[in-house]
Amino acid sequence: MTGRGLHDRGGRGAYNRAMQNSDVVKIFEELADLLEIQGANPFRVRAYRNAARTIGDLPESLAEVLATAGRRLEDIPGIGKDLSDKIKTIAETGTVPQLEELREQVPRGVVDMLRIPGLGPKKAAALFKELSITSLDMLKAAAESGEVAKLKGFGEKTAKSILEGLAHAQQAGTRMYFADAQELTEPILADLRRLPSVTQAEAAGSYRRRRETVGDLDILVTSNDSAAPMDLVAAHPLVEKVLARGDTKQRVRLKAGIEMDVRVVPDESYGAALQYFTGSKDHNIVIRRRAQERGLKVNEYGVFQGDTAIAGRTEEEVYRAVGLPWIPPELREDRGEIERAEAGTLPKLIELADMRGDLHMHTTATDGAATIAEMIAGAKERGLKYIAITDHSKRVSMANGLDADRLRAHWKAIDKIRGQTTGIEVLCGVECDILEDATLDLPDDVLAEADWVIAVLHYGLKQPREQIMQRLLNAIRNPHVKAIGHLTGRLIGKRPGAEMNRDEVLRAAADHGKMIEINAHPSRLDIDDVGAAAARDLGIPIIIDTDAHSVNGLDVMQYGIWQARRAGLTADDVANTRPWGEFKKLLRK
């Protein structure tokens, strides 16, 4: 790693300020994979996976903990002395010796084998040790030649399964945007609900928790004829192949490459199954522990006292049995929702109906597909009371970005149309690039004329962290900037965000009274849920915007709402839920 070191005041050595929590998460996850392939103690593997999850969800920087007098990593739940020492080593050197040793012992291609359905760590280890297979291409060749089938514990059936799995390993190893998964899931659910024999049908898993991406799909159904829903799904035009089928469970592969499980459950178990298969795993571990403390057992079939089922028909029954109110699925990640539920302080999560404004959208003046008038009309149809037209500044030349003269002319056009418009307030705004040299793309005298300036990173995202930080902090300090849009610049699964100290950025935004955007576009959802929760805790007004480039683009607002719900945000935490009069006061402030 690069960057200036800093000395812990407790005398614990020199640590790198550039270390991000995500750096530690990646190392611990890789350690867990490599140890599992080597057949290490499962408790060691689990410790690294749990530590990675804990650190990934932390609202504060580990580097800041190390730098603060009186703070100890061991005070973080799940971080014992061994893990604490490794984090310190990562902060000092960028890695840990154990990881480098394991990387020499286990090639990356062996880890890739774990993406193949049914091929676990033991079989991957056997393929590596017995046949010296170190890549998916080598595995394919060995399976086709018959070498895999001859291996002890494998056979022809396993070799065939590996070949079938290899064809889909690339897709199966790639998570799908939630929005894309929605386009597959909702039509199947709608068709299931139309079946006369089906009384309930719902998606579970990470889809129901509204994760940014989805790895596979789970659907639960209650029906007096278990064959009917499975027949429907098997024959559905979105389905490519039935992978397995039993009396009450079916696994299919959709044509999009993602796999789906359909389970038919009895009415009396529906709530328990829905709770169980929604997850997350970490949330459910706590629920099971609470049940055990009360002499109960919770599983997908119900809540049991001895052999007697006492709950399970609804999720509310399940949670009530363990002394809790029902918890919204978006919060079920074991990030404090259990404690809040027990204390009666669960937030009333924001809903789409709470939104009154949208402060980031584009028109035909740059790369939008609709005119100013069309975007205003589309916003009015969706019940919005105020919007900001924010076409690109000149740096985004591929989008026909606006220089000072063109932008002023554009604002005059907006001003003329809004003068003829009733029922909605329209702000003359701009999406202003934060340039690679840490200046803004337009001069201050132009920005001073705007009603609304949202500053963003589009280019130079691979610059060193120090430069990224200078760019963001300069924009935050500018008196004309109202908000920072899509903070990291990431595109989920395609482009990583810029390297930054998020906590420092958010503290600066809080100090300078800037808003932080949740960009609702499904490929961005930036800032993420953990970051949005951290911003909320600092008192930063959050805005949820569509970044719409067409009238239909205004409809992605719902994805931003789901991201905000995963962050535990209420309507009060989001600035553009406020009536225009209140938001106007916030702008002046």
pLDDT digit string, tens, across residues 398-440: 788 999 999 999 999 999 999 999 999 999 999 999 999 999 9
pLDDT of residue 1: 29
SS3 (DSSP) at 218: strand
pLDDT value at 163 more than 60: yes
pLDDT tier at 118 (50, 70, 90 boundaries)?
low
pLDDT digits (tens, 9 = 90+) for 224-273: 999 999 999 999 989 999 999 999 999 999 988 889 999 999 999 999 99
Mean per-residue pLDDT for 65-83?
81
Helices (H), 57-154: 62-67, 81-93, 97-105, 108-112, 121-131, 136-145, 147-150
Residue 334, both tokens: 């074991």
The one-letter amino acid at 350:
I
Mean pLDDT confidence for 160-176: 70
Show the beta-strand stretches assigned E in 306-356. Answer: 308-311
Mean pLDDT value of segment 105-127 = 82
d(C-alpha 544, C-alpha 562), whole Å: 10
Read off the pLDDT of each residue in 534-542 and give the average, rounded to a whole number. 97
CATH T-level assignment (fold) for domain 352-588? TIM Barrel (3.20.20)
pLDDT for the residue 58: 64
Same fold, 176-264 and 279-343: no
CA–CA dist 14, 7 (Å, integer) = 4
Which of 519, 492, 544 has its CA nearest to residue 214?
492
Sequence spans of domains, the chain: 5-105, 108-172, 176-264, 279-343, 352-588
pLDDT (mean) for 272-281: 96
At 168 the pLDDT is 54
Q: Confidence class of residue 21 from pLDDT cuts 50, 70 and 90?
A: confident
Q: In the predicted model, is pLDDT for residue 16 greater than 60?
A: no
Closest CA to 285 of 544, 28, 50, 43: 50
Q: How far apart are CA 515 and CA 455, in angstroms?
A: 11
Q: Where is 426: in which H helix or E strand?
A: strand 425-433
pLDDT of 9 above 50: no
In 3-state terms, the chain is what percent helix, strand and coil (to 5)?
50, 15, 35
Residues paired with residue 452 on neighbouring β-strands, in sequence order: 429
Predicted local confidence at residue 13, as pLDDT:
47
For residues 467-474, average pLDDT: 98
Beta carbons of 359 and 546 less than 8 angstroms apart: no
pLDDT of residue 7: 32
Q: Rounded CA gap, 220 and 203, in Å? A: 6
Q: What is the mean pLDDT of the chain?
A: 90
DSSP label at 496?
A: P
pLDDT in tens, 171-199: 545 678 899 899 899 999 999 999 999 99
Q: Which position has the token pair 């010296």? A: 132
Residue that has been written with the tokens 């609804």 in this structure: 314
Among residues 474, 537, 461, 460, the alpha carbon closest in space to that of 503 is found at 537
| 357 band by pLDDT with thresholds 50, 70 and 90 | very high
Reported as a pLDDT band with limits 50, 70 and 90, residue 24 is: confident
- pLDDT single digits (tens) 485-502: 999 999 887 777 899 999
**pLDDT for position 6:** 32
> Using an 8 Å Cβ cutoff, are 217 and 233 in contact?
no
Second CATH level (architecture) for the domain 5-105: Orthogonal Bundle (1.10)
State the pLDDT at residue 543. Answer: 98
pLDDT of residue 3: 31
Q: What pTM, to 2 d.p., does this model score?
A: 0.74
CB 326 within 8 A of CB 316: yes
CATH 1.10.3720.10 fits 176-264, yes or no: no
Residue 291 or residue 120, greater confidence? 291
What backbone phi and psi angles, to 5 degrees, belong to 326?
Answer: -60, 140
Given a cut of 60, is residue 584 above it in pLDDT?
yes
| DSSP 8-state assignment for residue 267 | G
Q: Which of 327-336, 365-374, 381-390 has the lowest mean pLDDT?
A: 365-374
The pLDDT, as a whole number, for residue 326 is 98
Order across the sheet with 297-299: list the strands.
297-299, 302-305, 308-311
Q: Pick the residue with more confidence: 309 or 66?
A: 309
Half-sphere exposure of residue 302, counting CA atoms within 13 Å on the CB side?
15
Among the four given CATH numbers 3.40.50.11930, 3.40.50.2300, 3.30.210.10, 3.65.10.10, the one describing domain 279-343:
3.30.210.10
d(CA 334, CA 279): 10
Q: What is the CATH number of domain 108-172?
A: 1.10.150.20
Residue 76 reports pLDDT greater than 90: no
Burial of 571 (0-12, 13-18, 19+ CB in 10 A): middle
Structure-token pair, residue 465 = 């962290």
User: pLDDT at position 511, please?
Assistant: 97
CA-CA distance, 41 to 302, in Å (whole number)?
32
- Residue 535: how many other CB atoms lie within 10 Å: 27
Q: What pLDDT sits at residue 398?
A: 78
Residue 570 β-bridge partners? 349
CA–CA separation, 69 vs 126, rounded Å?
A: 48
